Structure 1
Amino acid sequence: MTSTFASPPGGAPGTAAAPAVVATEVTKVYGAGGAAVHALRGVSVGFARGAFTAIMGPSGSGKSTLMHCLAGLDTVSGGSVALGDAEITGMSDKQLTMVRRERVGFVFQAFNLLPTLSAERNITLPLELAGRKVDQAWFEHVVEVVGLKDRLSHRPNELSGGQQQRVACARALVSRPEVIFADEPTGNLDSRAGAEVLAFLRSSVREMGQTIVMVTHDPVAAAYADRVVFLRDGLIVTELFEPTPDTVLDRLKSLGG
């Protein structure tokens, strides 16, 4: 199955626009000859602007590989990836670095915060490195939504795991990226802290019109999304709109995940 859905049926205003990121017949092969591993086998899928999409599947299904290819963190073996109006397939390393810096945000399982910097400096550091001025009004709005207004002077070791991940989310948002890619963002958090981070990601879509693509193995996390795309053996095999933990779990069971 190849998926061409860009937005859920009856989606929110604005989701009918061109997708934020599109993969077309994407393949990814690691190794060669008899040792070759086909991680992706011709995936075509679009991700709607202003929507929250989760990518799921059994271990080894290709979900993280797909996200890395969509984000320009890994090259494709075949097919193409477009971020908005930019065809990133075939871009040089320098061009990809610029795209990731200016148009994409990242949230990973590891918080990747600099321990010597305050929460505020960690949030604004990517802008500083890019030589871009901080939009103070936007910064304050992001901090308000993420709930860190009284924690900006704290260093990472003075914050809980959930607060550290929310700093990472704010860092991803402050540059106003076209899309945020989140790879198991609650993987290092307990259930309560994970729920805080997921609620924030959900509110960033609802209140800021952010586009989020998240890889997760957790049905509860996936239920925060508008849509779940399921992979198995390097192919998209089904998708689910308006998911609940139970419907996601049932779909995973049917895939053997």
Structure 2
Amino acid sequence: MRARSLTKVYGTGEAAVRALDGVDVDVARGAFTAIMGPSGSGKSTLMHLLAGLDTATSGTVHLGPTELTGLGDRDLTHLRRDRIGFVFQSFNLLPMFTAEQNVLLPLELAGARVDQDWVDTLVDVLGLRDRLTHRPAELSGGQQQRVAIARALVHRPEVVFADEPTGNLDSRAGAQVLSFLRRSVRELGSTVIMVTHDPTAAAYADRVVLLADGRIAGDISDPTPDAVLASLDALRPLDDAAVR
């Protein structure tokens, strides 16, 4: 996945806010990439544009050979359904469905065939075998998020976007979810792009892309929590200066 000269402006005239300012970024297939930056740096905007959830003011986004920024609403809807998976902070599971029904929902909506071998692999990797008949209210937060990860992966998307996936979890459950995301990359061949504010969460990724004031401000390979924290601290004066 790649973005070129990606710009997003909200509002017009004196009230205009440039949330992204000419971003160029490549995301490797089969890797776990985290996007980080100070509050208001544009990280959520970048994720929404990469995922086709928002439209760019200018610039391009490509998923493989497909330019997302050139698609109409109908084609974008099909692309998100067929080629992209999503994991949200709030889980977004349907409360009346069992864990298994929630996992299989994307296939049902798309009218796609269930690959039972793949479903079994997901269920076992994510440790959900004895929770499949439980409804979300009967699951812990960590278990609900693992169901959400299985749902995001069940149709074998080209890329999974995770938006603060541990934001509603305690530290132990959060660590389990991040481990499962990393395992999905290393053992299942998934591509994961995660937005997070947490240096410890970012350290689970293969790479951290740093944003400040809507621009790429750094890149960390094989991140550690200390390296991420130091880089974020270095960015804050930059971001403060931009605000002034």
Length-normalised TM-score, structure 1: 0.91
Q: Distance in 2 between matches of 1:143 and 1:94?
A: 32
Q: Which runs of 4+ in 1 moved over 3 A?
A: none
Q: Distance in 1 between matches of 2:95 and 2:204?
A: 30
Pick from 34, 37, 42 the counterpart of residue 57 of structure 1: 37
| Aligned pairs for 1:119-198 within 5 A | 119-198=99-178
Aligned twin of 2:72: 92
Q: Distance in 1 between matches of 2:159 and 2:111?
A: 21
Q: Distance in 1 between matches of 2:19 and 2:66?
A: 24
Query: How well do the aligned residues superpose, as a CA RMSD in angstroms?
Result: 0.7
Secondary structure at 1:89 match in 2: helix
Aligned twin of 1:110: 90
If each structure's helix is expressed as a fraction of its own residues, which one has the higher value? 2
Deviations 1:145-173 (Å, cap 9, x if unpaired)?
Answer: 11101100000000000000000000001
Q: Distance in 2 between matches of 1:107 and 1:29?
A: 26
Q: How many residues align?
A: 237
Secondary structure at 1:75 match in 2: coil
Letter in 1 for 2:37: G
Q: Distance in 1 between matches of 2:22 and 2:127?
A: 41
Letter in 2 for 1:176: R
Deviation at 1:90, TM superposition (A): 2.5
- Match status 1:252 vs 2:200: no
Q: Distance in 2 between matches of 1:124 and 1:139?
A: 8
Length-normalised TM-score, structure 2: 0.96
Q: Distance in 2 between matches of 1:117 and 1:99?
A: 25
Aligned twin of 1:48: 28
Letter in 2 for 1:109: Q
- Match status 1:223 vs 2:203: yes
Aligned twin of 2:3: 23
Deviation at 1:117, TM superposition (A): 0.3
Deviation at 1:85, TM superposition (A): 1.0
Q: Distance in 1 between matches of 2:157 and 2:191?
A: 8
Q: Distance in 1 between matches of 2:29 and 2:109?
A: 27
User: Unaligned regions of 5+ residues in structure 2, if any?
Assistant: 240-244
Q: How many percent identity over aligned positions?
A: 68
Pick from 61, 68, 84 the counterpart of residue 81 of structure 1: 61
Q: Distance in 1 between matches of 2:65 and 2:177?
A: 30
Secondary structure at 2:70 match in 1: coil
Q: Distance in 2 between matches of 1:54 and 1:89?
A: 22
User: Unaligned regions of 5+ residues in structure 1, if any?
Assistant: 1-20
| Aligned pairs for 1:193-204 within 5 A | 193-204=173-184
